[in-house]
Structure 1
Amino acid sequence: MKKLLLATAALALSAGMASAETIRLGTEGAYEPWNYINDKGEVDGFERELGDELCKRTELTCEWVTNEWDSIIPNLVSGNYDAIIAGMSITAERAEVIDFTTNYTPPDPSAYLAMTPDVDVESAVISAQTSTIQASFVAEHGWTLVEFATPEETIAAVRNGEADAVLADKSYLAPFAAEEDDLVLLEREEQIGGGVGMGFRKSDTELKAKFDAAIQSMKDDGTLNALIAKWEVASTF
């Protein structure tokens, strides 16, 4: 799902593995159903449930931390938390700065949300969240791109006429099309990224290995596919 800011990478070697058994998990808290803040003010969603189960399987105590998307990788590298679990697509560019676990969802399509079904995306103005794989995709194709800090703002831009369509994960956009009469999904979809994984500092190889093993165990016993289907975030493995 998202691209990174290649800032503060030099701090990677100085940030060590989390102490003892308490691990801080960093997420955005603004990308339902992947991760969001519920009415109790708590992190909720697919990745909250997934992260809690992974922590049980690794026998680690986990605390949840929220961070704005555009600084989520730099703040991992600088030690503000110990792992990212935030709908982050695995890309080669990000892997230059952090290490990823095996993917916990397979690649899922990105979709376009617009107010009419006849938008020609190649000549239209497309909104996307800053530092995402969708923003990178639009820019690489030379189309007209407007970027916003939050996913909510990308949809607002379509409604107020700043953009003709928004490009984002289909699992995020589909509920808006289903629930709101003035918004529709376009037929065209894009396959971007290599699935979603957890991100770790390059120095935290032992910690990453523990979560790799836990993710694989959830794949092997079917619980991961059940969780994906429950939250409808992607196709199953």
Structure 2
Amino acid sequence: MKKLILTGAVLAMTAGVAMAQDVVRMGTEGAYPPYNFINDKGEVDGFERELGDKLCEMASLNCTWVTNDWDSIIPNLLSGNYDTILAGMSITEERKQTIDFTQNYFPPAASAYVAQNEDVDLQGVIAAQVGTIQADYIAQSGATLLEFATLDDTIAAVKNGEADAVFADKDALTPFISDGSGLVIAGEDVPLGDGIGIGLRKSDTALKEKFNAGITTLKENGELNALITKWFGADAKTF
């Protein structure tokens, strides 16, 4: 009788795990438009929200969205607070030592400097978001790196004169250089990274395969390029 009860309990646990795996918690920052941001309804929105929902639908997964500060986004993935990272995270060899990535869903794109004038000293004080490949680049460039928690904070530092320029993904900086902002692109674009992918724990191989299959399909049928163009404009780099 004990064996029967134990077997039933194990089966119930197994079924519970299988069901739990169908609920995927999608981690993002919610502060990096147009990749991800919080809309007027208080909901996660943006390119990665739309892409993530589409991939979950294709894989028959029930997905929920969780926001987390950028500077602790990888530790909290590893701690199990969510199952994926869709947060404009570039695929790098350094990050691959800690987590795994799907294939890229956004091609390698340019990073750029934004300042109050085009003649700014790019070897001066440069703001970058903490934990980004742009921060690593500035740290090795000879300029003085000034790190901030969010992209908005880096822009504010340039506007108030605390930093000479900000260095970040050009696509993310574009909304900040609209007419009347007082900010402009300075210097040449700098290509960094291997594109942007979904971050996962190294143990989640089945989930990685499902998302990779979905990304491949969206690349092949043109839907991914359409999403990129929708959120980043007709001049955005596509596959």
When normalised by structure 2's length, the TM-score is 0.89
Residue 39 (structure 1) shift: 0.2
Matching residue of 1:120: 121
1:174 is aligned to: 174
CA distance in 2 between counterparts of 1:179 and 1:153 reads: 20
Partner of 2:208: 208
Partner of 1:100: 101
Identity of aligned residues (%): 60
2:137 maps to amino acid: F
Partner residue in 1 for 2:238: 236
Return the alpha-carbon distance in structure 2 between the equivalents of residues 69 and 230 of structure 1: 25
Deviation at 1:181, TM superposition (A): 3.8
Name the CA distance, whole Å, in 1 between partners of 2:209 and 2:179: 41
* Equivalent in the alignment of 1:46: 47
The C-alpha deviation readout for 1:197-217, integer Å capped at 9, x for no partner, is 000100111111110101101
Contact 1:18 1:82 in 2 (8 A): no
* SS of alignment partner, residue 82 of structure 2: coil
Q: Give 1:149's aligned residue.
A: 149
Per the alignment, in what secondary structure is the counterpart of residue 235 of structure 1? Answer: coil
Question: 2:160 maps to which residue?
Answer: 160
1:71 match: secondary structure: helix
Give 3-state SS (helix, strand or coil) of 1:110's partner: strand
Task: Give the structure 2 partner of residue 109 of structure 1.
Answer: 110
Aligned to 2:36: 35
- The Cα shift of 1:17 comes to 9.3
Structure 1 residue aligned with 2:13? none
The answer to which of 167-176 and 39-48 deviates more is 167-176
**Gap runs ≥5 in structure 1:** 1-15
Aligned residue in 1 for 2:9: none
Distance in 2, matches of 1:179 and 1:187, equals 19
How far apart are the structure 2 equivalents of 1:168 and 1:33? 13
Q: Tell me, in whole angstroms, the C-alpha distance in 2 between the residues paired with 1:127 and 1:181.
A: 18
RMSD of aligned residue pairs (Cα, Å):
1.5
Distance in 1 of aligned mates of 2:222 and 2:79? 35
After superposition, the C-alpha distances for 1:68-108 in whole angstroms (9 at most, x for unaligned) are: 00000000001000011110000000000000000001001
Structure number with larger C-alpha Rg: 2
The equivalent residue for 1:72 is 73
Matched residue SS, 1:33? coil
* TM-superposed deviation, 1:120: 2.7
Deviations 1:155-180 (A, max 9, x none): 11111111100001111111111243
TM-aligned CA distance change 1:229 to 1:73, over 3 Å? same
Give deviations 1:11-62, integer Å, cap 9, x for gaps: xxxxx99823110000000001000000000000000000000001111000
Q: Distance in 1 between matches of 2:80 and 2:162?
A: 37
How many positions carry a matched residue from both structures? 221
Q: Deviations over 1:133-165 (max 9, x none)?
A: 100000022321100111111011111111100
Q: Which residue identity is paired with 2:222? A: G
| Conserved 8 A contact 1:17-1:203 | no
Is the counterpart of residue 223 in structure 1 residue 223 in structure 2?
Answer: yes
Structure 1 runs (4+) deviating above 6 angstroms are none
Provide the rounded CA distance (Å) in 2 between the counterparts of 1:125 and 1:187.
15
Q: Which residue of 1 aligns with 2:3?
A: none
Aligned to 2:12: none
Task: Tell me what 1:56 maps to.
Answer: 57
